[in-house]
Structure formats: C-alpha cells, structure tokens
Amino acid sequence: MSMLSVDGLAVSRGGLPVLEDLSFTLDAGHALVLRGPNGVGKTTLLRTLAGLQPALAGTVSVPPESMAYAAHSDGLKSTLTVRENLGFWASVYASRDIEPALARMNLKSLETRPAHSLSAGQKRRLGLARLLVTGRPIWVLDEPTVSLDTASVALFAEAVRGHLAGGGAALIATHIDLGLDEAKVLDLTPFKAKMPEEGGMQGAFDEAFL
C-alpha cells in the first residue's frame, strides 16, 4: 500500500506548465530522489505537493498536512535560539520531544544561539531538526544537503534512515549524492511539459508555407 500516489500531475510556474503527465508512488519506508537538470521543475513539483501552489491537473493521494516540507532556511525564526525554534515547532506540531532532534542533528552545543548567528550549514541542520519534530510521515526536501559538510551529510542520511525505519517516507530533490544508496531515483526530464506556444507557433509557421 503506497503512502503517496501521484497520478497524471501537471505543475506550473509563472503561469507556464513545467511538468506534465507525472505519475509515481512512494511506499512507507522508502525514499525517492528526484533528479533532472536546472529548471526542469523539481522545486515546482515539491511546492505543489506541499500545497504551496495549485496543480494544473492530476491527483495527489494525500493532503499537504501529511507532509513536512523543507527548503533552504524555511521556517527558522531568526531571533529565537536553536532550542526556542525547535520548541516553537514542537508546539505547532502538537509537541514532540525536541531532545532527540537536537542530539540527532548535533545541535546541543548550539542550543542557546539565536538562529541568525548560525552558519549556513548549521541553519540547514536546524531546518532538518525541525523535520524530526513535525511527526509528519512524508518528508519533502529540496536540496537538503546544500552547505552541509561531510559529517553533517552523514547525520542527515542517518536522520532520513531513522524516519524511514519508523514507517515514514521521503521525497528528495537534489543534484548531490546523499549517501542514501537505497533510495530510488526518478528523473523528471521525460515529464517536461511541451510548451503549447512552441507547437502552436511551429504549426502556424508550417501552415503559412503550405
């Protein structure tokens, strides 16, 4: 029984279709890595699944509330400390213990630091710790390991593995090797939308010379 099922999905950005006719499933305990060249539509797809923008067509089997979306330093309150940030999110998501998240992303020694004073990679680790307190089953991650050093990439991979082992699932857009060899890969290139104006203009051009 799949945890997430996407059927005939079309997504758009800036009013233009980006990906179309996309179908895939994601089972509990599994991770799916989304690949494709810059601009193919990875971020657009994740934002659509997370409910941040509407789909053009198709169905998604679960609501955005089943997903925890993370991109860049999203969701960090810059004036709050690391501990306060996680406490805030724990209360928003009906409170999970934040201690495992602090420990898992190696944030104990930074817990009293305001988020704005963290380095890029430390902010990234705090953003990933946020996922752990959401308790949501499907993690939707956009380039989660950007700015992370080797040790932190390993921490990230362990956090994802723990999530999968607990019956969760993860959808991850990245160009970088995550150290998650067990993850399946979906290349989005074949689902690139054919621009209607291209076909239309070519059609009109052909017609003019027939």
41 binds ligand ATP (CB under 6 A): yes
Site string for ligand ATP, 115-154 (x = CB under 6 A): ----------------------------------------
User: DSSP code of 172?
Assistant: E
54 binds ligand ATP (CB under 6 A): no
- Judge contact between 171 and 24, C-beta under 8 A: no
Nearer to ligand ATP, 108 or 175 (CB): 175
Helix axes 120-134, 82-92, angle to 10 degrees: 30
Stretch that binds ligand ATP, among 39-47, 51-59, 74-82, 83-91 (CB under 6 A): 39-47
- Judge contact between 28 and 3, C-beta under 8 A: yes
- CA–CA separation, 19 vs 10, rounded Å? 5
What is the size of the binding site for ligand ATP (CB under 6 A)?
Answer: 11
Nearer to ligand ATP, 42 or 130 (CB): 42
Nearer to ligand ATP, 107 or 173 (CB): 173
172 binds ligand ATP (CB under 6 A): no
Residue corresponding to tokens 């997903």 = 67
Nearer to ligand ATP, 116 or 184 (CB): 184
18 binds ligand ATP (CB under 6 A): yes
105 binds ligand ATP (CB under 6 A): no
The amino acid at 174:
T
- The greatest distance separating any two alpha carbons of the chain, rounded to the nearest whole angstrom, comes to 73
Site string for ligand ATP, 75-94 (x = CB under 6 A): --------------------
Q: Which of 4, 9, 26, 42 binds ligand ATP (CB under 6 A)?
A: 42
- Judge contact between 120 and 144, C-beta under 8 A: no
The amino acid at 181:
D
User: DSSP code of 169?
Assistant: E
48 binds ligand ATP (CB under 6 A): no
- Judge contact between 70 and 144, C-beta under 8 A: yes
- Judge contact between 37 and 88, C-beta under 8 A: no
Residues interacting with ligand ATP, by CB under 6 A?
13-14, 18, 36, 38-44
